[in-house]
Amino acid sequence: MKHITLVGIIVLSLGFLNTNGVAAELTADEIVKKVDEVRNPELDYQTDVRVVSYKPNRPEHASRYDVWIKGRDKTIIKTTEPENERGQSLLMRENDFWAFFPEVSKPIRISLQQRLNGDVANGDVARTNFSGDYSAKILSKSKISGKDFYVLELNSLRDSTTYGKVKLWVMAENFWPVKAEFFAISGRFLKTCSYENYKTLAGQLRPSKLVLKDAIVDGQYSTIEYNEMNIVEIPEKNFTKEYMNK
Amino acid sequence: MNIPKIVLFICVLCLFGLGWEKVYAQSSSLDDFVMPVVVDEKVPQTYIEKMLMRLEEFEKDLRLKEKYLIVEDHLAQLGQRYVDFQKMVGIEIHGSLQNQTALQIYQPNRANKIANQFYLSGAGVVSPSIKYFVSGRFKYDSVYANSDHYSDSVESDQKAELELRDTYVDYSTGDWDFRLGKQQVVWGEAVGLFYADVVNARDLREYILPDFEFIRIPEWGLSSEYTKNDFHSQLVVLPGVEFDKTGLATSNFAFPLPLPDSPTLLALQDPKEPKYGFDNSKIGARFSYLFNGLDLGAFYLRSWTSLPVMYRTINAGVYNFNPDYQRQNIFGMTFSKEINDYVCKGEAVYYPDAYFSVIDPTDLDGVKQSGYVDYLLGVDHTYFDRWDVNVQLTQRWIMDYDKTFWRQEELTNGFSIRLSRPWLNRKFTTEILAIANLSTPDFLYRPKVVYNAASNLQITLGADIFSGDSTGSFGYFRNQSRWYSEATYKF
């Protein structure tokens, strides 16, 4: 029992040091990996996502998606609401994308650009990981509202990523992402993202709401809410275009 | 550079500067920095826990709300119970109610469609490896009841229809998937055209104007699929063979018969359809492989001619037609690949022993055989982030072409273009599809505006405009050009 207590104290101390001293030894890429662990489960999972997009003087547009994710490169997004769009789905398989529309009843190959269209990029909905897609460097460490933060710059490693560059604020004590700024490959500032409402999803505290604000148009923003997240083993074949109508 | 141009130049620079400053002023700002908050709460896991939680909430509400609120809450509870019931019995029910009304553009400006359609589907899970889907529709077109324009046989054929649509059981085990039942098998890549979509028969009583989902006629049979990494194969056996449905004489989209241009006496027999059975099955296989983003597919189908072969004899100047279906082999391949935001796609379908009607009166049966290839190359691109553009070039090459082939050229060229764009946060979508047959030439234009009036109500206004040479497949239906409205409620 004493051993367990001692081990516990050591672990806690390491955890404490982690936030203050040892964490400084973590590389930027290691921090990003820990951020990814907060954002997404490492295993295959299914999540229910609600997206609402707001534009000035325009009616809001709300959608709900059933999202299935396997590994880092395979995602299928099925639209469940609104009823008018129910049955549509999007398959992302590394750099290859297909859309399925019930009225055509067949998968249609689409481009990366089409995948990125819309107020909320499908990459945002899919919660794909930063690590592996971006190389990171620590820009600075800062204190905001009494909390220590890493400010990271992430640069895209391949053309198929949703963004060219990301600036990311991460809480040092628990690696929670708090804010991000997204830039296009051209360097154009696209939007900010605020990671909010942390709650237990798939056994861990994770941000359950993302608020994405357009960088140019005031009052134009979208929210992404993750209602539940379930770790499930998903067969590889579910991420093929032939499976989109199943 | 004169003074006004200098002023204009400076103004542009200022505006550009302001815009630039705005972009970078927003970047790195912490004004909207929201410190994270934990909103964790116990999430009920089991069905009983969920129901108990709802009961607790309901009891609290009873004490707090006025009577009318209680009624409202009851309704909400009822709706929720319906959803819970669907989950409990494992069936998900959806459907749609649709009205389609069409008015002819040219004289006489009569309505040629006032159709109401009710579509219902149910999907369920029996076990993790067994799922089922049932669907059907009822359609009633009152234009046939209120018009003397159509014959009794057309009225009987198109006024009311109750049909079972896709209805099947899916079984999945390891890398294998099986689908048994009435189904659609889709092998093509093209948009708005049937090329490699060769498996299912088509309902062409409204030509190619309805949604493709409803043009394809689901057929009874078994499909088995094997998927391993980037390889996919499919074997289909469809004993419940169906044939293209076409409009009867005097209907809006009745197909022409292969006759000389001069008035001719004729006698037309009903086509002889082969019976259902394994001997008469459609059998086919498709293989596809995704290699470095290149999606390649190849298929073979032993099928039937989708339309009957129009065998004819001429006795004393009277053309006697004895339509009959014949076996047909079909080979095909498809590809698609994205190159720098342009999606390139293609299809080629080879019919080695197709049947063509001939106009030569000395020909004994009015039919000759020849191989032909239909192929298509297309590209998709999005312009200005919003404009989706699809362009497709098509060609048909008849290998043993004979000048007596009825309304055929050795090479027939065509193209299609489709433009679509969403507006006002996807409240509206505008679209135009134009299909051209360049050899004739003749055209089909399909502009439309789709309005999402509510999350489950969609209203479409559009037109289907046929034009060009009347010997072409589009020009022939010039008088059927129409305005239309469509209202669809989905649940």
pLDDT digits (tens, 9 = 90+) for B442-479: 999 999 999 999 889 999 999 999 999 999 999 999 99
Residues 47-66 of A with CB under 8 A from B: 53, 55, 58-62
Please tell me if residue B35 touches chain A, with a CB cutoff of 8 Å. Answer: yes
Residues 3-42 of A with CB under 8 A from B: none
Which residue on chain A is closest to B228 by alpha carbon? Answer: A237
* Closest residue to A205, CB basis, from B24, B38, B290: B38
Give the count of domains, chain A: 1
Looking at A3-7, B163-167, B253-257, which range is the least confident one?
A3-7
pLDDT digits (tens, 9 = 90+) for A24-42: 578 999 999 999 999 888 8
* Alpha-carbon gap, residue A97 to A107, rounded angstroms: 10
- pLDDT of A20 strictly over 60: no
Please tell me if residue A158 touches chain B, with a CB cutoff of 8 Å. Answer: no
Which of B198, B200, B196, B177 lies closest to B188 in space, CA to CA? B196
What pLDDT is recorded for position B70?
65
Confidence of residue A66 (pLDDT cuts 50, 70, 90): very high
What pLDDT is recorded for position B8?
54
* Closest residue to B212, CB basis, from A96, A103, A237: A103
* Alpha-carbon gap, residue B361 to B258, rounded angstroms: 11
Pairing of strands B411-423, A74-81: unpaired
Q: What amino acid occupies position B140?
A: Y
Residues 425-454 of B with CB under 8 A from A: 425-427, 452
Which of A166, A200, A60 lies closest to A119 in space, CA to CA? A60
Residues in chain A closer than 8 A to B184 (CB atoms): 105
Query: Are B234 and B184 within 8 A, CB to CB?
Result: no
* Alpha-carbon gap, residue B247 to B255, rounded angstroms: 7
* Alpha-carbon gap, residue A122 to A132, rounded angstroms: 18
What's the half-sphere exposure (Cβ side, CA atoms, 13 Å) at B173?
A: 3
B270 CB burial (10 A radius; 0-12, 13-18, 19+): exposed
Cβ within 8 Å, pair A200-B186: no
Confidence of residue B46 (pLDDT cuts 50, 70, 90): low
* Closest residue to A82, CB basis, from B191, B345, B456: B456
Answer with the residue of higher pLDDT: A173 or A103. Answer: A173
Cβ within 8 Å, pair B36-A196: yes
- pLDDT of B22 strictly over 70: no
Query: What is the rounded end-to-end Cα distance, in angstroms, of chain B?
Result: 64
Q: Is the dihedral of CA A131, A137, A141, A142 positive or negative?
A: negative
User: In which element (H, E) is residue A38 found?
Assistant: helix A28-39
Answer with the residue of higher pLDDT: B34 or B255. Answer: B255
DSSP secondary structure of B369-408: EEEEEEEEEEEEEEETTTEEEEEEEEEEEETT--TTBTT-
- pLDDT of B3 strictly over 50: no
User: In which element (H, E) is residue A36 found?
Assistant: helix A28-39
- pLDDT of A110 strictly over 90: no
Cβ within 8 Å, pair A106-B491: no
Please tell me if residue B83 touches chain A, with a CB cutoff of 8 Å. Answer: no
What pLDDT is recorded for position A18?
43
Please tell me if residue A221 touches chain B, with a CB cutoff of 8 Å. Answer: no
* Alpha-carbon gap, residue B99 to B101, rounded angstroms: 7
Please tell me if residue B234 touches chain A, with a CB cutoff of 8 Å. Answer: yes
Mutate to test the interface with A, among B20, B22, B39, B211 (most CBs of A within 10 A): B39
Cβ within 8 Å, pair A58-B424: yes
Q: What is the complex's ipTM, to 2 decimals? A: 0.79
- Length in residues, chain A: 246
Looking at B70-74, B257-261, B328-332, which range is the least confident one?
B70-74
**Which CATH number is A199's domain given?**
2.50.20.10
Query: Are A195 and A207 within 8 A, CB to CB?
Result: yes
Which residue on chain B is closest to A108 by alpha carbon? Answer: B189
Residue A142 structural domain: 2-243
